[in-house]
């Protein structure tokens, strides 16, 4: 399973599947990180394998979505890194895509086309779509205070 994160500016990158955590427990930063950022996301799960998916066919490749959060570490030099253990949270409560607002489909279709142009999407892969820019976390923040929906 792969996790591909589509940023708000349309760029994307891949996270290793070992960053995925389903149970919202404690999040610890490595010693070289001075703070953390969090970004609300919309996650879709790929139901059908594909490569170079045309926009008109993109809707055939997914049927469920769930809220999620991508965490980022801020290093001492100010650089931001997405490669932390347990840094991708996805709700276990996947919902049918019919519950998505219509405005959500355009970024999903564009993101799927962009990612699948470069890599093959496999059944079970996650596409995470950032809904805003990453925001600083405060000590004691929880999944609820980040406002996942």
- pLDDT tens figures, 90-147: 988 899 988 888 888 899 999 999 999 999 999 999 999 999 899 888 766 666 656 5
Provide the mean pLDDT of the chain.
Answer: 86
Q: How far apart are CA 26 and CA 3, in angstroms?
A: 21
Taking residue 129's Cβ as centre, other Cβ atoms within 10 Å add up to 23
Nearest to 3 by CA among 90, 77, 67: 90
Q: How far apart are CA 35 and CA 22, in angstroms?
A: 22
Stretch among 20-24, 79-83, 90-94, 105-109 having the lowest mean pLDDT:
20-24
Confidence of residue 11 (pLDDT cuts 50, 70, 90): very high
Pairing of strands 3-6, 12-15: antiparallel
Cα separation values, 10 from 6, 28, 50, 52, 109, Å = 6, 29, 20, 16, 11
Mean pLDDT along residues 28-33:
78
Structure tokens at 81: 């890194």
146: CB partners within 8 A, 6+ apart: 38, 40, 69, 137
Angle value at C-alpha 127, between 133 and 129, nearest 5 degrees:
20
Residue 83 has pLDDT above 70, yes or no: yes
What domains can be seen in the chain, in order of their start residue? 3-137 (3.90.850.10)
3-class secondary structure, 33 = strand
Residue 97 DSSP label: G
Taking residue 113's Cβ as centre, other Cβ atoms within 10 Å add up to 15
């Amino acid at each position: 399973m792969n996790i591909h994160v589509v940023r708000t500016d349309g760029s994307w990158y891949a996270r290793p599947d070992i960053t995925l955590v389903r149970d919202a427990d404690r999040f610890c930063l490595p010693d070289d990180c001075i703070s953390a950022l969090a970004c609300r996301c919309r996650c879709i799960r790929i139901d059908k394998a594909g490569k170079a998916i045309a926009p008109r066919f993109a809707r055939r490749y997914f049927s469920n979505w769930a809220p999620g959060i991508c965490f980022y570490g801020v290093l001492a030099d100010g650089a931001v890194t997405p490669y932390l253990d347990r840094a991708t949270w996805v709700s276990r409560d996947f919902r049918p895509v019919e519950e998505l607002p219509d405005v959500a489909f355009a970024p999903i279709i564009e993101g799927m086309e962009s990612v699948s142009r470069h890599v093959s999407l496999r059944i079970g892969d996650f596409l995470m779509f950032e809904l805003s820019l990453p925001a600083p976390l405060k000590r004691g923040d929880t999944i609820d205070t980040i406002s996942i929906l």
